[in-house]
Structure 1
Amino acid sequence: MYIFHKMPVLSLVVLLVLVIEDGEAGNNTSNCKLGSVSKNSQAEKEALSRLEPLTNRNFTVNTGGDEAYSYQFRVCGDAGAIPGGGVVQKDKAGKETVIGKYTVTEATGGRDWVMLIYRNGSQYETHCTSEDRKAIIMISCKPGVLAGDLAIILEERERVKDCFYLFELDSSAVCPPVSSKLSLGSILLFVGFSCLAVYMIGGFLYQRLVVGAKGMEQFPNISFWQEIGNLSADGCDFVCRSRGSREEPPTYRGVATEPLGEESEERDDHLLPM
């Protein structure tokens, strides 16, 4: 009996889970059905996965002039009332025309861009030999802007075939990941200097506020650092300074500048006959 009492609650939980999953599916790039079955389909999936942050957003752009239209775009979702319409055109009367469906998607990605192509739109009436419309959305990297403004660049409908609508959108979602430019040595130096700064400031405050030191005594562990300085000075003195007189080699002796003393004349007067 206990199980039967719990059945309505379990049914409600299951229903809520299904509703949540359905809502999340509406904002997922998996709704885009890739139109190609080539070997590049995995690359297309990777390109689509970069657009996940944009799947829950609607983008709109309006055109002026005699033919004023409103274009709506949504990544892998219904942009208008027509199911499957990823890019939809609305006229002044509110009539919708599907430019391209996300259920037939081609995706191409580069280092800092992703291009979507939605095919199987509504047929042209008098242009392009009545072929299906096609939307090309070029999404380019712009750091710091998750979702920029949608812009329509071109409607090419004067061709015999392969006509298209070209849209442009800026987003940081397609920007390459920023890698750290700091080397291991730079990181170690930064950590070392940070620790030294904390030691100096903390020790100074402790000596001044707690110990009550004044002058040079405020320097933390001053006796230790003085001893380090003395040892360094002794080592420098031992290596760099000369000790005692050092006689130059004979080959480098200079010529004496003082005049040589006159030799004393040898007296030989006693050898003369008397």
Structure 2
Amino acid sequence: MAGAPPRMRALCMLLCLHRTLAQIDDETDGGPIGSAGDSGMSVGTPSCVYSTKGATFDLTGMLRGDHDYTGTTPGGYTYRFNVCSGTVKVCNSQAAPASKWRGSHCNNLGDLSTQEISLLDAKDPMKGVKVSYKDGDICKRQVSGQMEISSRQVTYAIECGGDEPAVLKHIDEVSMCEYTITFTSKHGCPVGSRRGGGWKFITMVFLFTGLYLGIGFAIKWHKFGMRGVEAVPNIDFWRQVPGLVFDGITLSVSKAKVAYGIASVKLFNGRLPSF
């Protein structure tokens, strides 16, 4: 291009500038999320197992292979994103963790290779984790009153809680180039920190027992003026419980002795020791 006329060089520069600015979308958007749905080509999966301060997190259960998480804003933008993988619907033929769409125009919000995982609260792993990506498509942002060219970046704030793999709470545009997507997820809790169904059942038993005793005491105390042991709800039944338990144990032992004797005769010709 060194020997090209000045007008030709100027035209080439304008074309290059136009292609660069075509990727820039500097409209501010935010607000409550909506929903959308689509599917497309799947992409690679970065590691989503993270360990720190004795706690291990496994976010792979949040990955979606058939459709993206989606959210829309009043500005007319649709956000598509995935966790531990690129979006199912690909923007500009490039794998990315998240993208921002308006019609057929889209921008990628980060690069999968830049993934970083850290705690939401450095002092409390039970708060959850955040997954950050940077080096997305270029954008314009305001710095000290001046507009600068930068690149988009997105952070997933994954709060520990609930029993679902992922519940999308909201999408925020922190600045003209930074986005935060907040989830509540059981995978946002350290592995092994959540109690299973058996513990939940035991907790419910203790809870209802406490309510039963507390309400019963209150009624017998205030309505009937009973005090001490007599204020225990259904005290006559509870006085019989030790005897009922003893009778049950005695019956079980008796049945076991009979079964043992029958087995000794039929299977071992009476050679088993008696008890």
Q: TM-score, normalised by structure 2?
A: 0.46
* Structure with max Cα Rg: 1
Q: TM-score, normalised by structure 1?
A: 0.46
